[in-house]
């Protein structure tokens, strides 16, 4: 007990430290900025390596999928063994994954896919534990500022990734993205070294790890992801696709039964009894489900209009600027109005942005202007949503549950992104390969790319649906009062 009190005293002495915050920021952008560049440069990598589109789609979604599978359990391990320790392990995995991708040989997707899977494990270590460290080391306005910095690294980094990735891929070459990621990860390791560890006190109880829950969850997630990403190629009614669908349903049923009775559950469903946390996590899943917007729109202009990765990246120039500005605006709105209002407003603005990018029936020059404005709206909406959502999730749970709760919150983000990208890519790829003739009069300009443009509309409208569903979930769960008032009411209750 004394040892734990000494650790807590050291943690309190380190609270608000900007060196630690910078180290966490660099850790987060190894995912947000560097790993996410593949959303923009997937076509460039695929062409350079000489691999097919299905292998490329698997590589794109692999990191989000594997981080989503393991992020909860690794967040829980951070509570037990040390949140900073798990962050450091994540940084080492980031270095390894980036190294493997950077030396990928031609004519094979194996290195690319393995590297992306390792990046997924890295993300599962870094994102929940960095957020849990913020919960432990920062309080009040300092915590909201730290969450904003975290959001800039994750949401802002992802916003910059398209332009950043396109610029490097078109100049130095796409492999340099991953070499620079290694440098940033090393810098993060240096900055957070020597910081006192943050973890829960030892309870003295030996609790069994929920291995059965994790395995069934993993099988179910892999099965459903393969159905979504490969169903079009395999055939939606083929024996393999139907078998994978059945495997997903059966394993998820088994998973929920295991979790209902497990002593040390893989996912603590009790957290979802808290409406604020439930709303933040669910809306986070749905909002991140719109990640396919970037993949579809940028693939459209490269495949349908012959743009390079860099030229496509220029369309998103307003996206990072808007998201970085909006993150700070969202922080101020949170302090004044509580979480609900900026979360709903952010989603509504993001919907306008997605709708603008879906106007693929206009002329190319017109679409360049409209989609550039659309990406700016999309970025501003996401930025406005980011900090209030993360703060609502953090402020509604106890510090002892910070790692596992942050893990579930980030799992919602990772799985939402994985499913959003996979479904969007599947819709776009599947429809673009068909001969579309019934809408020819609706499209202006060229007629040889109508199938691609039509496929993009349908895929982008799916992303619009995800964000609209997020608005419904927020209104249904997040109270329309400032979080401080909610906290007072809960204390009185």
Q: For the chain, list the domains and their CATH numbers.
A: 12-195+266-492 (1.20.1250.20)
Beta-carbon contacts of 389 under 8 Å, excluding residues fewer than 6 positions away, are 280, 283, 284, 287, 339, 343
Question: What pLDDT score does 187 carry?
Answer: 94
Task: Write the CA distances from 137 to 7, 121, 123, integer angstroms.
Answer: 12, 24, 21
Location of structure tokens 């609900």:
340
| Dist CA 394 CA 92 (whole Å) | 26
Of residues 201 and 265, which shows the higher confidence score? 265
Q: What is the pLDDT of residues 195-214, one digit of tens each?
A: 777 666 655 555 566 778 87
Question: What pLDDT score does 346 carry?
Answer: 96
At residue 253's C-alpha, the angle toward residues 249 and 257, to 5°, is 170
Of residues 340 and 422, which shows the higher confidence score? 340
| Dist CA 354 CA 338 (whole Å) | 26
Question: What pLDDT score does 229 carry?
Answer: 62
Of residues 335 and 139, which shows the higher confidence score? 335
**Whether 307 contacts 301, CB under 8 Å:** yes
What is the enclosing helix (H) or strand (E) of 309? helix 309-314
Q: What is the pLDDT of residues 234-246, one digit of tens each?
A: 777 788 888 988 9
Q: Is pLDDT of 437 > 80?
A: no
| Dist CA 262 CA 446 (whole Å) | 59
Average the pLDDT over each of 68-72, 160-164, 248-252, 392-396 and give the range with the smallest value: 68-72
Question: What pLDDT score does 319 carry?
Answer: 85
Q: What is the pLDDT of residues 17-47, one digit of tens each?
A: 678 888 899 999 898 888 888 877 887 888 8
Question: What pLDDT score does 232 carry?
Answer: 62
> What one-character DSSP code corresponds to residue 401?
G
Q: Which class for 202: exposed (0-12), middle (13-18), buried (19 or more C-beta within 10 A)? A: exposed
User: Could you tell me the two tokens for 166?
Assistant: 């396109």
**Whether 148 contacts 331, CB under 8 Å:** yes
| Dist CA 31 CA 67 (whole Å) | 11
Q: What radius of gyration do the chain's Cα atoms show?
A: 22
Confidence category of residue 116, pLDDT binned at 50, 70, 90 = very high
Q: Transcribe 28-91 into DSSP letters.
A: HHIIIIIGGGHHHHHHHHHHHHT--HHHHHHHHHHHHHHHHHHHHHHHHHHHHH-HHHHHHHHH
Q: What is the pLDDT of residues 54-86, one digit of tens each?
A: 788 778 877 877 877 777 778 777 777 788 888
Q: Is pLDDT of 344 > 70?
A: yes
Nearest alpha-carbon partner for 384 in 345, 416, 353, 415: 345
Q: pTM of the prediction?
A: 0.74
| Dist CA 323 CA 152 (whole Å) | 8
User: Could you tell me the two tokens for 370?
Assistant: 């409209």
Nearest alpha-carbon partner for 133 in 201, 80, 63, 197: 197
Average pLDDT score over residue span 291-307? 84
| Dist CA 450 CA 187 (whole Å) | 47
> What one-character DSSP code corresponds to residue 361?
T
Sign of the alpha-carbon dihedral angle for 308, 314, 316, 320? positive
Q: Is pLDDT of 471 > 90?
A: yes
Sign of the alpha-carbon dihedral angle for 60, 65, 70, 72? positive
User: Could you tell me the two tokens for 242?
Assistant: 């139907």
């Amino acid at each position: 007990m004394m040892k734990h009190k000494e650790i807590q005293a050291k943690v309190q002495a380190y609270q608000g430290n900007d060196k630690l915050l910078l180290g966490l920021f660099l850790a987060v952008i190894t995912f947000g900025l560097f790993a996410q560049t593949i959303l923009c440069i997937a076509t460039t990598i695929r062409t350079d390596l000489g691999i097919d589109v299905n292998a490329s789609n698997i590589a794109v979604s692999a990191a989000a999928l594997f981080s989503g599978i393991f992020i909860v359990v690794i967040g829980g391990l951070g509570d037990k063994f040390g949140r900073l320790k798990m962050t450091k392990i994540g940084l080492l995995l980031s270095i390894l994954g980036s190294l493997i991708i950077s030396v990928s040989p031609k004519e094979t997707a194996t290195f690319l896919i393995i590297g992306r899977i390792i990046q997924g494990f890295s993300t599962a270590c870094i994102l929940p534990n960095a957020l849990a460290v913020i919960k432990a080391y920062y309080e009040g306005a300092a915590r909201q500022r730290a969450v904003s910095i975290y959001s800039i690294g994750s949401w802002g980094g992802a916003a910059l990734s398209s332009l950043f990735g396109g610029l490097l891929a078109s100049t130095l070459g796409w492999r340099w993205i991953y070499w620079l990621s290694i440098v940033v990860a090393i810098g993060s390791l240096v900055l957070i070294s020597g910081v006192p560890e943050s973890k829960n006190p030892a309870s003295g109880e030996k609790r069994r790890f929920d291995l059965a829950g994790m395995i069934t969850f993993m099988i179910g997630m892999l099965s459903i992801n393969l159905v979504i990403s490969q169903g079009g190629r395999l055939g939606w009614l083929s024996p393999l696709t139907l078998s994978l669908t059945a495997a997903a349903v059966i394993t998820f049923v088994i998973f929920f039964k295991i979790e209902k009775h497990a002593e040390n559950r893989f996912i603590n469903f009790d957290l979802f009894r808290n409406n604020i946390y439930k709303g933040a996590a669910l809306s986070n899943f749905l909002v991140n489900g719109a990640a396919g917007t970037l993949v579809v729109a940028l693939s459209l202009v490269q495949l349908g209009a012959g743009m390079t990765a860099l030229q496509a990246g220029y369309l998103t120039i307003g996206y990072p600027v808007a998201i970085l500005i909006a993150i700070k605006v969202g922080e101020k709105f949170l302090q004044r109005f509580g979480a609900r209002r900026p979360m709903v407003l952010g989603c509504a603005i993001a919907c306008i942005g997605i709708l603008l990018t879906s106007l693929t029936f206009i002329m190319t020059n017109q679409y360049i202007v409209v989609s550039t404005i659309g990406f700016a709206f999309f970025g501003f909406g996401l930025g406005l949503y980011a900090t209030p959502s993360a703060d609502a999730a953090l402020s509604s749970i106890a510090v002892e549950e910070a790692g596992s709760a942050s893990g579930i919150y980030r799992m919602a983000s990772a799985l939402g992104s994985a499913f959003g990208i996979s479904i969007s890519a599947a819709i776009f790829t599947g429809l673009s390969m068909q001969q579309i003739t019934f809408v020819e009069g609706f499209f202006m300009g060229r007629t040889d790319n109508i199938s691609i443009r039509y496929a993009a509309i349908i895929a982008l409208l799916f992303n619009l649906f995800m964000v609209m569903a997020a608005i419904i979930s927020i209104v249904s769960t997040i109270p329309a009062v400032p979080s401080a008032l909610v906290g007072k009411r809960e204390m009185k209750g």
